[in-house]
Chain A
């Protein structure tokens, strides 16, 4: 049956409407997890709050298990799910830049929008900076393009790159999450509580 749009179950024209609905849901979850507080997000880097780690790890596991079991039940065809191409160099550079922005501003783009939604002034400044960045990037794109498009590896999957079976990888990933959550809880107990 799925994926719904490539299989023609849902007309591609609906994709923006669906994106809007998923976006509202995503924003709601971010806000109710407390992600519109930059201190909570930054807590991950200082070791006093690991909510970000837990929420994103859990989301990944839920999506991963769901997709694989749906594939097993024949509800979705995983081969038709789009895998974005891998660019090693531009991903590394972009990741470092994003990390700097994250630690300086206290938000990632999604959580920044969330915080704007509840009226945080720091987030409004952050989002203005974000759009400024988008504008600069777009203007400078002809200069950056050769680097941006360099060495496409195509749609790579981590299981294929490591030569592991999907099941084994998923199990290891979940085990890593469970161990990671416990370590996080341990660290959080040790680190001085921060009021925010």
Chain B
């Protein structure tokens, strides 16, 4: 009887060992190596400009996920429309993992400037989350370039005027309401003589969005 028991146990051990030959050993570590992080840090492709961001929001890019990493109080005061709030200290919590874990979504971190958002990006990359980006310059640059673009000096190049016109048009989308209706907003900005004017100010998105997104 004892002999049979020994044989059964031996056979069981062999069977379990055989199983290990066929199952692939998983690497449960989700962390990236320091060498990998160093390469990642020097790669500027994580940065997305505010102009690109605005374009994505206006075109209602379905895979875009904006993540505000500032504290909740600041998020409640002001944020970019459509952004979700994951404060930096909650970045590795389980709720955050639901947002960060979706591989196909393009996750863009932003804070008041680049610092907290880059920290969030580092944490996310170190934990092997893919498709994560940082909005260059954060909300400060967002306000400077999109919400209140500064008019270029009259001697500026035509490209700068084109960019300004584009930004002004974009700002109408985000600001909407009274600001959008003020005559100033419709005023055409005259580029210097000789400059090409390629981009028209299109008030279309403003009309589309007006009732939904009133005020900021």
Footprint of B on A, CB under 8 Å?
61, 65, 68-69, 71-72, 74, 76-80, 165-168, 170-171, 173-175, 177-178, 181
Contact = CB atoms under 8 A, between A and B. Distances in A.
Interface residues of B, number: 16
B29 A69 contact: no
A71 B29 CA distance: 10
Interface of B: 6, 10, 13-14, 16-18, 20-23, 25-29
Chain B interface secondary structure, helix, strand, loop or mixed? helix
Contacts of B20: 65, 68-69, 166-167, 170-171
Given A65-B13, A175-B14, A178-B13, A167 B29 contact: no
Contacts of A69: 16, 20
Contact of B26 (A72, A170, A171, A181): A72
Contacts of A178: 10, 13-14
Contact of B29 (A79, A170, A175): A79
A175 B10 CA distance: 9
A185 to B, nearest CB: 9
A3 to B, nearest CB: 11
Contacts of B18: 171
Contacts of B26: 71-72, 74
B27 A167 contact: no
20 contacts: A61-B13, A65-B16, A65-B17, A65-B20, A68-B20, A71-B25, A76-B28, A77-B28, A79-B28, A165-B21, A165-B25, A166-B25, A167-B22, A168-B21, A170-B20, A171-B18, A174-B14, A175-B14, A181-B6, A181-B10
A124 to B, nearest CB: 35
Nearest to A78: B28
B17 A171 contact: yes
Contacts of A72: 23, 25-26
Given A65-B20, A165-B21, A171-B18, A71 B28 contact: yes
Given A77-B29, A79-B29, A178-B10, A167 B16 contact: no
Contacts of B28: 71, 74, 76-79
Nearest to B21: A167
B25 A68 contact: yes
A69 B16 CA distance: 9
Contacts of A168: 21
Contacts of A61: 13
**List of 5 A-B pairs having minimum Cβ-Cβ separation, nearest first:** A167-B21, A167-B20, A171-B17, A174-B17, A77-B28
A66 B14 CA distance: 13
Given A65-B16, A79-B27, A167-B17, 7 more contacts: A61-B13, A72-B23, A72-B25, A77-B28, A167-B21, A167-B23, A181-B10
Nearest to A74: B28
A114 B13 CA distance: 29
A168 B18 CA distance: 8
A88 B18 CA distance: 31
B213 to A, nearest CB: 43
Nearest to B7: A178
Contacts of B17: 65, 167, 170-171, 173-175
A78 B25 CA distance: 10
A166 B17 CA distance: 10
Contacts of A166: 20, 25
A39 to B, nearest CB: 22
A21 to B, nearest CB: 26
A166 B21 CA distance: 7
B21 to A, nearest CB: 4
Contacts of A171: 14, 17-18, 20-21
